[in-house]
Amino acid sequence: MKKITKLIALLISIQCISQDIDNLYSNYFQNTREIPYLHLNKTSFLKGEEVWFQSYIIEQNSNKLHPTSSNLYVSVFDEYGQQKEQHLIQIKNGIGYGSIPIDSTFTQNNYYIKASTNWMKNFSEDNSFTQKISILSDQKNTSAKTSSQDDFYEFKLMPEGGHLLENTVNNIAVLIKNQNNKGVKTKTGIIKDSNGNSIGAFNTNTLGFANVNLAIKKGEIYTFEAKLYNGTTIKQKTNIPKQIGITLNTKVLDDSFVLNILTNNKSLNVLNGKKYRVFIHNTRSYKSIFFDFNNIDKNYVLLLKKQELFKGANIITLFNEKNQPLLERLIFNDLEDSSSNIKVTTSKINYDSIRATVINYSKEKIFLSSSFLPSSTKAYEPNNNIKSQILLKPYVKGFIENANYYFNASKNKSKDLDLLLLTQGWSKYSWNNIFNNPPKNNFNFENGIDLTLTIKEKLSPKRAVMMFSKENNLIKEFKSNQNPIVLKNTFIKKNSSVDFGLKINDKLLEILPYITYSNYSIKETLNKKHLINYNNFELEVSNFKDLSKDVTVLDEVILEAPKKKINSEPYGAITMLNSVKMKNMIIPSGETIIDFLQFKGFKYTGFKFLPKGISQRGRKFTKYDSEGEIIESTSMSEKKDELLSPEVRVFLDNNEITFNLWIIESMYTNTVKEVFYGRDPGKVAQVIYIYTLSPQEYASKNSLFSTVKIPIGFNQEKEYYSPKYPSYTNSTYKEFGAIFWKPNIILEPNKAITFSVPKNYQKDAIIFIEGISESGQLISKNQLLSFK
């Protein structure tokens, strides 16, 4: 008995498939891609506050924190899309943090914060982060108006697969938005045929989405008529259906997706015997399913079990026998929610503060940021949380309204998310680009800032240029033959002071080099889709003036375990070794620490030190007496045991650098405080301990410097502080004020951290947490906390 429906089981295996698509796809996504996300402490601000944020950069191919990304540009645009300012944030192991003061230059009602990197410009797909912020004022908005029936509405009908096919059941997505790009819920929705007969109904949700399964007749055009709650009636007609072709109709079940590939009678002979390919992919991996059309079946069913699909977004592309993409559909396979592993508890310290404890119940290390706001806040309305920014936005072409909604605890979120993806059609990744326009590395993967110092006068061999900065923990000495002097990959702070001096023998004179910079800014633009007309509302805060510049500095966090002090001074058995205080030595100008240690009898091979009295000649080891005469020669085989481990262990400020001696090759002796050397007490190996001068010690030692204030650089990190609000009890503070911001929370597995939070006369508060685990599990949650 012939069946109308042919079930294709999802048995995925590596097959003899089209290598062209596979290779082109793999090549297109082989380069590392960065996805930035900023967790802002809130999105509405009073003048005098600051935008506090923690930045996360995710590596798209692994979905983990990016280990090497370092330069993140955070730009501020006004409501017309003009760049106002740009900040450079240093990223360490995927995380950084900073702040932007809301000062008197913020004169408009709305601004946009964008985060991106230079490397991201190599890719056609925009994965930058953008968030609108509102600046509240006690000034009345004279341009405010209320919505009317004359407002513009966007009303779209989008068939799954991109077109309608006659004599087939088609799945049609409905989208209705207002002039502010906000979804509109319908009061009623009616579908009529060309004769005006009512043949069906629809109703959009609060996000403006709906879908309808409609049997499309040959040549028929249908009218969708929507009545809105404000009394407005809007209409939209379907396109003329295709006579020959295929279409998609996807169903979402609890444990699987059912993908129906549909055709009609007129297409059977055209498609008969052709091999089509279903390509399931997510930019990191892909799977393929092949099937053949016959001249009988009009419905080919693929049962896609969720446990066998990729977690998160899956792009399903249907290719014909010529490897041409015909149809595409985005689906989302739910991820395990790791947010339940994070708990926050509070306990009272005293009348004006509470103790907050964040507990990690998971088995892996996590990285978090948190914002504490009054429980009735209206100031926290981010369009994306870390989940939507990383799991959804990189795959969708269009603007997603209230994207974080799809990752909350709503029971309808899976259905609503599928409606969103149904309206998107093709994914962000164009097959034309994948086939014909692979990324090119035109923009560098930046690591810090490069500085070039040019000295006007010619320097003699006995002279050297000194450079140091307390704020940047920087000490450098450059020989006279280095002009211009290039400092690559520095992490110098913006508006920090750097001192320069000209060293002549043991004297210092002021010198002022000409400085140029690179890798400190990028040219940025704002995508116009983010610019929304906000003239139809205003936020009233007439009972609050702009905040005072005076601030209240909050207490430092209180940790459960005392913080370990990093010891860079000699201690214990080290002090029993031979030692040399460099201030007591007469050393030629320009001598490096390598030169000094060789003078003391250690032989440097270019990658390691040999013990005092032993050098390396080809494949023999030779021992010298104090006069330099050979007293013993040993073959390499006889010294085999010694070669199995480093000859001399070397430590710099108590950190071992035995296998990274290049660090001290350009270190001059005038930056060194003390050297200890000799045989490690109780062991066979010899050791060298080098201790350097701190910037403060170096500054006090050398005072004849010229000072330059560096106008560019990375934002200086600072502790959170709270402005002086006029009141903690009125509605403006409760709706738009801030209580506390705690970034850079690092929690080991099954550990907790405790810190104090001011109560600000609030009975309770909401904590908003965003973060990520070491394995890439994303965390986004909010919790009501009692302050009683």
750 occurs within a structural domain? no
Here the contacts of 283-289 (C-beta below 8 Å, separation 24 or greater) are 283/29, 283/33, 283/60, 283/61, 283/394, 283/395, 283/429, 284/29, 284/60, 284/61, 284/62, 284/63, 284/310, 285/310, 286/22, 286/25, 287/12, 288/12, 288/15, 288/17, 289/8, 289/10, 289/12
Going by C-alpha positions, the residue among 711, 664, 297 that lies closest to residue 493 is: 711
Average pLDDT over residues 171-191: 94
384 is a domain residue: no
Measured distance CA(595)–CA(601) in Å, rounded: 10
Provide the mean pLDDT of the chain.
Answer: 85
Look at residue 151 in the predicted model and tell me its pLDDT.
65
Which range scores top for mean pLDDT: 416-425, 457-466, 504-513? 416-425
Model pLDDT, residue 508: 76
What whole-number distance in Å separates Cα of residue 209 and Cα of residue 125? Answer: 25
C-beta separation of 72 from 36 below 8 A: yes
Average pLDDT of 64-70?
96
H-run or E-run covering 642: helix 640-643
- CA-to-CA distance for 477 and 128, rounded, in angstroms? 39
The residue ranking higher by pLDDT, 549 or 97, is 97
Measured distance CA(184)–CA(174) in Å, rounded: 11
What is the sign, positive or negative, of the torsion defined by CA atoms of 475, 478, 484, 490? negative
Instruction: Pick the range with the lowest mean pLDDT from 188-202, 526-540, 774-788.
Output: 526-540
**Residue 595 within any structural domain of the chain:** yes
Task: pLDDT band for 425, please (50, 70, 90 cuts).
Answer: confident
Is residue 650 domain-resident? yes
**Do 513 and 588 belong together in one domain?**
no
Task: Write out the two tokens for 17.
Answer: 């498939």
Residue 492 shares a structural domain with residue 589: no
pLDDT bracket for residue 688 (50, 70, 90): very high
Share of the chain above pLDDT 90, in %: 62
Q: Identify whether residues 603 and 510 lie together within a single domain.
A: no
Would you give the end-to-end CA distance of the chain in angstroms? 73
Alpha-carbon distances, residue 494 vs 245, 348, 498, 533, 692 (angstroms): 60, 40, 11, 35, 25
- The first and second tokens of residue 324, run together, are 């041409």
Asked if residue 640 has pLDDT above 60, the reply is no
The arrangement of strands across the sheet holding 325-333 comes to 286-292, 275-281, 312-319, 325-333
Q: What is the pLDDT, as a whole number, of residue 139?
A: 56
Is the confidence at residue 440, as pLDDT, over 80?
yes
Q: Tell whether omega for the bond before 484 is within 30 degrees of 0, i.e. cis.
A: yes
How many beta carbons lie within 10 A of that of residue 92, not counting itself? 11
Handedness of CA 635, 640, 643, 648 (dihedral sign): negative
**765 with 372: CB under 8 angstroms?**
yes
Does this model's pTM top 0.75? yes
- Using the 3D structure, point to which of 497, 518, 539 is the last residue of a domain: 518
One-letter identity of residue 620: K
Comparing 429-433, 635-639, 666-670, which segment has the lowest mean pLDDT? 635-639
Contacting residues for 494 by C-beta, under 8 A, at least 6 apart:
88, 710, 711, 712, 713, 714, 715, 716
Kindly report the CATH number assigned to the domain that includes residue 131: 2.60.40.1930
Number of domains in the chain: 3
Residue 735 has pLDDT above 90, yes or no: yes
- The mean-pLDDT minimum among 548-552, 571-575, 779-783 falls in 548-552
96 found inside a domain: yes
Note whether residue 479 is domain-resident.
yes
Task: State mean pLDDT over 645-672.
Answer: 85
**Which residue, of 680, 705, 721, is where some domain finishes?**
680
| 433 phi, psi to nearest 5 deg | -70, -40
Of the pLDDT bands very low, low, confident and very high (cuts 50, 70, 90), residue 627 is very low
**Cross-sheet strand order for the sheet of 186-192:** 198-201, 186-192, 223-228, 233-237
Here the tokens at position 84 are 């106002």
Q: What does the pLDDT look like over 368-405, one tens digit per residue?
A: 999 999 999 999 999 999 999 999 999 999 889 889 89
Range with the poorest average pLDDT among 5-14, 320-329, 375-384: 5-14
Check if the beta carbon of residue 249 is closer than 8 Å to that of residue 262. yes
Does residue 687 register a pLDDT over 50? yes
Query: Where does residue 662 fall: left (phi above 0), alpha (psi -120 to 50 degrees), or beta otherwise?
Result: alpha
Range of the domain at 644: 578-680
pLDDT for 618 equals 41
- Say if 459 falls within a structural domain: yes
Count of residues making up the chain: 788
Whole-angstrom distance, CA of residue 673 vs CA of residue 663 = 17
Q: Is 770 helix (H, G, I), strand (E, B) or coil?
A: strand
Residue-wise burial string across 327-351, b where 16 or more C-beta atoms lie within 10 A, e elsewhere: bbbbbbbeeeebbebbebebeeeee
Is 561 a residue whose pLDDT tops 60? no
Has residue 492 been placed in a domain?
A: yes
pLDDT at 305 (0 to 100): 94
Distance from chain centroid for Cα 127: 10
pLDDT digit string, tens, across residues 720-732: 998 889 999 999 9
Is 641 within 8 Å of 648 (Cβ atoms)?
A: no
Q: What is the pLDDT of residue 138?
A: 66
Among 518, 533, 559, residue at a domain's last position: 518
pLDDT digit string, tens, across residues 75-115: 999 999 999 999 999 999 999 999 999 999 999 999 999 99
Q: What is the 3-state secondary structure (H, E, C) of 143-205?
A: CCCCCCCCCCEEEEEEECCCCCECCEEEEEEEEEEECCCCECCEEEEEEECCCCCEEEECCCC
